[in-house]
Each structure stands twice: as structure tokens, then as C-alpha cells.
Structure 1
Amino acid sequence: MVPRVMTVASTDSGGGAGVMADLKTFTAMKVFGTAVIVSLTAQNSVTVKSIYELPVSFINDQFDAIMDDIGTDSAKTGMLYSEEIISAVTEKFQQYNVTNIVVDPVMISKTNARLLKEDAVSSMVNKLMKIATLVTPNIPESEVISSIKIHSIGDARIAAKRIYEMTGASVLVKGGHSHGDISTDILYDGSEYSEFPGARIDTRNTHGTGDTLSASIASYLASGMNLQQAISLARKYIEGAIKNSFPMGKGYGSLSHFWAIK
């Protein structure tokens, strides 16, 4: 049976991030992707012009339509925007006993637009993250959640452990916002740390990187990989997508989602 993966996230009219990036990633991973869309964004490579939040009743209908018929082997979340949406999504995951949940706590876009309302952060931490298998914050998001300033790998380890203690979910602190030639992601699973280093790629074409990584991890989990394997393989995929990226628009360019497809 083809592995099934659900994205619960928002659209990107520019095609580089959000649900659009997730579905491209699912296709590249050769899994069957479904989507619960929670809001619509009018954005491109330069800016987010506006956000339209969908009614919770319609979000619930999408969940029910997928789960009553197709089901899912894993799920990932992206931009959820509000406390009301986060609460509804958490309840639906619990209702259908969804497993292998990867939470990408999207807060700020690369163009510095707020994608998670300030009053929704506590709901993200205290509700959704507590049922997650893995959360994948970047350094600024990790600092907000953990209240720890991250200047080094040691700080990232402390923040990862703090977030684990707050949520009970494994934590992957992504190192893309750090400095130096090597970017290192730090995983803490409640008992041990793992480091995933990689050469930093000098490019502006990074729109949707976080979405793509979390979608890839969820795909590998749906395919039966353990967490370590899923993260390692997903990092190889995202590195290839960045290396083969290309300009698209006037701002942050696009990843090459299909670089590995023969």
C-alpha cells in the first residue's frame, strides 16, 4: 500500500512554501499526499500581502473527509496562524488517533511576516506539541518557545531539552540561522542528543525550506523509517533541493523539489 501523509497547513500563492511545498515533497517522496488547508495566503517571494483564515467548521470537514475515507500514516503541520485553529487541529488528531505527527511551529516568514499570532504560541506549545512525535523549530522559534538565547550548539542542546521537557515530543532544533560554514541540527529524544551537521550552502533560494524538511520527515516516517533514519534521509533530500535550487521571483527563490527523481 502506498504510504499516506497529511499536511495541515496554509497555502502559498507563490508556490514555494506551505501546502504547495508539502505536496511537491510528498510527490518526490513517492507517498500519497492529502491536505487540510487552514488558511489562505496572498504571497510571493518578496512579501505576504494578506492572510485569510478559514472557518474551523470547514477545517473540521476537511479532516473528516480525509479520515473517513483515506486515512493517514503520518501528518505534518505548518502555518496554523491562530489559537482557534491550533485547538481544532489538536482535537482532530486526537479524535482519529493520528500518529507520526511532525509539528513545524511556523511563526515568521522569511520576508518577516508574522504567520502565528502572538497569543497562539502557548496553545501551540501546550496543546499541539504535546501530541507530536517531533517538533522542528528553527533557532528563532526555539528561542521563543524555550526562552533561551541560542548562540552555540551547546545553547541549542539546552533549548532542545527544555522544549522536550515542556512538551514530551522529540525536538529537532534546526541550525540554518546559525553562523559559520557548517549548519548543525540538534535532535533530543528525551534520552540522548544526535547531531546532523552539513555544509552551509550559499544561496538565496531557500523559500519553503522548513516546510519541505518537515514534509520529508513525515513522509519517511509514514514509510516505516524510525526517527533517526527519517531525519537523516530528509536532510539529504533538503540539501539536494537547496543545491539544485533556482531563482523564482524577485526575493527568496525556490527549492528544486524533484531533483532526485530519475
Structure 2
Amino acid sequence: MAKAVNCLTNGKGEPCGTCPMCQAITEGRALDVIEIDAASNRGVDEIRDLRERVNYAPNQARYKVYIIDEVHMLTKEASNALLKTLEEPPPHVIFILATTAPFKLPLTVLSRCQRFDFRRIKSKDIIEKLAEIAKDESLEVNEDILLQIAQASEGSMRDGISVLDQLISLGGKKVTQEDLQAILGIVPQETFFKLTKALVENNTKGALDLINQIIDQGYDIRHFATDLLEHFRNLLMLKINEEVVDLPKDLRERLKEFK
């Protein structure tokens, strides 16, 4: 957003990404793009200081852009102080208020903003991106591991890439299930299929043996229970309408065996 409004090439939409201003913003050295963490700067004094600074003209850019992260963490007094600036902002200033809890913001603040909701990224899209990165980096990693990373990231591409980066640091060019377990403590996808098969066949002993193995191997049983519920949900949704199941095609075909 900051690049789009300050791009030197056009300034009317998509940023070019190559002009000096776009590059400065990308590299975090643009003086006119200011990011504020409201979780640690949540008091009225910090907002009053911000209100004084917004009156100054931009140093180089067309607009000063203030990005206030976790804005819901501001105190009531700080929100009220910010409201006065939001009501009549200087023409050279743009505020971007980011939050994971918009319902905690005062209605007076919400009513003065344009709202854009960012949805979670689908697991299959995260898997595709991680697979692309793995190919570019010549990594040896199977799709089961990529799926587990995508599920653990809960719709966040940044978290998924961060986990893959940790796995590379730990195991080099070959990413293993053991490395993934060391970082996330995730039960292999194959275990859920084995447990499902045991339940379908009324093999109580086999199912209990699998659960005991999971406990003995040091997995978090609560995390396992959550992932098992997700697995059963996918089986149920696949039976009702497979189009709503957010999984790669190969895994969906595997799940269909239990329909």
C-alpha cells in the first residue's frame, strides 16, 4: 500500500517495485513509512506524540504512511486521542490500522476507516508455494511433510515458509519427518490413515496400540487429538461435498478409500 501511493513511476495503482522509493520501502529504509507496534506503544502519550509528528510534511515520499500494528491493543484514552487525527487527517498522511481482533476496536474508530479483511490462505495454495520453494532450493521433501507444515501454519504463508526455513537449517537439503517432529511435534499423516483403518475394521487393539506408540514417541496427545478431529472432518466433508475439502488431489484420493 505504501509503495502503491508513493511509487515514482506511476503512483496510480500497482507499484513498479523498481524505482528508488519502492526499493527504499521494501528494504525498510524509507523515512516516511513508519511502523508502530501498538502492543508496546499503547499509551495516550505515544499517540499524542504521533499526532504532533503527523503535521510535518514527508521527507521524500508523496505521502507519509503510518502502519499501526495490533491497533486493538491501544488503551481507551489512546484510541480517543487517535480518533481526533483520524477525523481530520492531514492531506499528506495515510494511516493503516492492522489488527487480528477488529471487534475490540471502538466503533468510532471503525466508522472512520475503510475495512479490508484478509482471509486465511488455503492449505493447497500454501503447499504449492512451499513445493515451488523446495524445487528452487533443490530440497528433498515429500508432500506429506508439506501438508503438515501447511496445516500447522493455519493459513499463514509467512509461518509456513518460516517452518520450512527452520527445517532446512536443521536437516539441510533433505527434510525428514523426524526433523518436522523435532520442530512442531506433528504426528505423520500416515498414522491417521492407519488409525482410521483400524477403527473401520473394529480393530480396537490395533487402534490402542497406535495411540500408545504416539505417546511413547513423545508426541503431544492434545495436538494429536486436534489433528485427528481435522482428519475425521475431512473424511466427513469429502463424503458430503469434496469440493470444500482444502487438500491436495493426491490426499483427497487417499481419503476417498474410506468413503
When normalised by structure 2's length, the TM-score is 0.32
Structure 1 or 2: more helix by fraction? 2
Structure possessing the higher radius of gyration over alpha carbons: 2
Considering Cα pairs closer than 8 Å and 6+ residues apart, tell me whether 1 or 2 has the greater RCO.
Answer: 1
Structure 1 or 2: more strand by fraction? 1
When normalised by structure 1's length, the TM-score is 0.31
